[in-house]
Amino acid sequence: MSSKSSMEYYPNLKEISPIRAMAKTILLNHNVRRVTAAQAYEMAQNQPGVSRTDMPIYPPAARRLGLPEGAMVLNDCHGQVIGRTAKARRFYNRMDASEKRKVEGDLREAIYQLQHYDLICAEAVLGLDPDLMIRAHYVTTSTDAMNVFNWLVNFMPFELVEDEYNRSKPLPIKDIIIVAFNEWSCDDPFYHCVGQPQLALVDEQHNVIFNLGMRYFGERKKGTLTLAWTSGMRLGMAASHGGIKEIDFSQCTDEKFRKLKKSSIAFYGLSGTGKSSHTNSHDNGGTLPEGFKKVVLHDDAFQIDPRKKVCRVWEPSLFDKTDSRDLDHPDWKYCLSVMNHSLIQAFGRTLPLGMDVRNANGRALIDRDLLGEWVNRCSFPKALVWLMKDICLPPALKFSDKHLAVAMGAALMTKRSRAENVTEEELKKLVFEPFANPFRVYELHKDVEAFLEVIDSGAEVYTFNSTGFWKCSEAELEDIPLQTSLTLQTLILTEQIEWEPCGFLPGALVPTKDSIDPHLPGYYERYSIAARENPEDMKDLMRDRFKQRRKYLFKSDLQSQPQLLKKLLHVLHIEAEEVDLDDDL
């Protein structure tokens, strides 16, 4: 089989952490009954906060899950908290001895409370490629049945892939255990409280998470994925919170494209940077050559194996925001479940109303068939693209220096907005999320080393600016249309761009005039550094932003790897900038 049970994994059972021991004990309690997706669906319809709509669950998925004929989408409203709560996260392996003793005692008390409820469990498999499959268990109360259903829909119910799992490659990885208790009560100010106490306790070394007092499904999904990504990292694979697709050029009508065979491209970006737009675009805005074939691995989560030169998917569904989907949007055809939606009577039916009318962050689980043709394994990426909203950067940069490439990913940034009600000084500060993955629970240097290995194995790295480019001030920008970025994507995949030094960032390149202008007329002049107005103001802003990048990495746990940190800091400066790292940092 793939992952291992506690008995199989630990040669010395004394090595089991108290957190995993507690989770395993409740999992094996004789009063806990296992449920299927169909059973969880029936139970969920009687759960407070859940409403049945008149929108059919995507029929192929409903049949796969064993749901009754005519099963309808359920809407689950979670209450005050409608998103993930970072402040509730506590990392067991970062606690000192006294904190561990306290949390262990509180957890035993929580489990005692939990056992007074009707308990259910579910089993799923994470990973759909036979070389990367991990078994996962989810224990909770019957009042949490909707989240159980969604969890089984989001991943793959164990019974549906049991034979494949039993034949899959054995892995030196522990099974994952998730324990949830929405009704947890505790008045200790040690724990985060919004309406009720909340705790997301993570023991990533032993593949266990407890979600206490947290109803939002995203805590279950991303918690489970966090442990999957971490497990993949332990196997020497790069964890990727991003989207990736593969283009097959072998059947193109033009011979110059046929020789390219297959190429994959991956996109990493925070919310609103265009990750899904790039991953899911059918033909890159009409720019892909005639005869191409596209498959998508996933638009949110996968693992890169640089040694086997492949990428593997974790889940068979999508967990999408629905703020841009109106009532007659074609994507609803593929819907499996919704949460935190308004309901409306329209066309003689009760339907979920997206567009964040009721509250922010309305979400839907959507079948992967929405993406068209999909696969569970795709080729090693030809290109990795960091998507950033940095007005100091042109639409596309290619990195010839691998340490600069990784440094820009490790300091992947976004910027605060005035909608966040912060001071002008705060507005100047960048917000960093390394490799666009807020779910990393291990040291940053491990991701840096993993992506360096990906580059050494043949991947090229780019940055796309997914906002405007400085024209004459921070407020007056040169627009970068999505169509321009999609065209750049195609030109990279089809190797039609030649590159030259960008003129401001050593180790970074921009397209040459002769190679880019035939495809995007006027691009070279429009986005050249020389064409910027008020260039000194722009350079001041650029210097400040690269200084913030250096400071961020310097203060990170990369300090535990001083030689690696030095290499990253050394390349993060603009041309002719005098950098005294000791003074700067």
The whole-number pLDDT of residue 263 equals 96
Report the pLDDT averaged over residues 345-359: 96
What secondary structure letter does DSSP report for 471? S
Confidence category of residue 341, pLDDT binned at 50, 70, 90: very high
Tokens of 23: 């989770």
pLDDT at residue 508 above 80? yes
Residues 169-177: what's their mean pLDDT? Answer: 97
Q: What is the pLDDT of residue 147?
A: 98
Q: Tens digits of per-residue pLDDT, 368-383?
A: 999 999 999 999 999 9
Q: Is the pLDDT of residue 583 over 80?
A: no
Q: Stretch 5-20: mean pLDDT, rounded?
A: 96
Cα dihedral 550, 552, 554, 558, rounded to 10, equals: -120
pTM for the model: 0.94
Model confidence at 580, pLDDT cuts 50, 70, 90, reads low
Work out the pLDDT band at 396, boundaries 50, 70, 90: very high
Label residue 428 by pLDDT band (50, 70, 90): confident
Confidence (pLDDT) at 98: 98
Angle at 271 (CA atoms; ends 269, 276), nearest 5 degrees? 70
Which string of DSSP letters, residue by residue, matches 276-288? HHHHH-SSTTTTS
For position 418, what pLDDT does the model report?
A: 47
Query: What's the confidence (pLDDT) of residue 417?
Result: 56
Give percent above pLDDT 90 in the chain: 93
Taking only the tens place, the pLDDT of each residue in 278-307 is: 999 999 999 999 999 999 999 999 999 999
Residue 416 has pLDDT above 70, yes or no: no
Q: Does residue 420 surpass a pLDDT of 70?
A: no
In the three-class reduction of DSSP (H, G, I as helix; E, B as strand; rest coil), residue 106 is classed as helix
Domains and CATH numbers, the chain: 6-239 (3.40.449), 260-283+380-537 (3.90.228.20)
- Residue 266, judged by CB atoms within 10 A of its CB (0-12, 13-18, 19+), counts as buried
The mean of the pLDDT values for the chain is 95
Q: List helix spans (H) across 342-418.
A: 402-410
Q: What is the pLDDT of residue 195?
A: 83
- At 465 the three-state DSSP class reads strand
The three-class DSSP label of residue 481 is coil
Q: Answer whether 378's CB lies under 8 Å from 310's CB.
A: yes
Task: Indicate the DSSP class of residue 4.
Answer: B
Tokens coding 494? 């089809």
**Residue 311 predicted with pLDDT over 60:** yes
pLDDT surpasses 80 at 60: yes
Residue carrying the six token digits 């009760």: 350
Task: Provide the strand spans (E) within 43-187.
Answer: 50-56, 72-76, 89-91, 119-129, 132-141, 156-157, 176-181
For residue 187, the model assigns a pLDDT of: 92
Q: At what angle do helices 145-154 and 217-234 cross, to 10 degrees?
A: 40
Q: How far is CA 174 from the centre of its chain?
A: 22
Q: What is the largest CA-CA distance in the chain?
A: 72
Q: What mean pLDDT do residues 21-48 have?
A: 97
Specify the pLDDT at position 419.
45
Alpha carbon distance, N-terminus to C-terminus of the chain: 49
Q: What is the pLDDT of residues 252-273, one digit of tens each?
A: 999 999 999 999 999 999 888 8
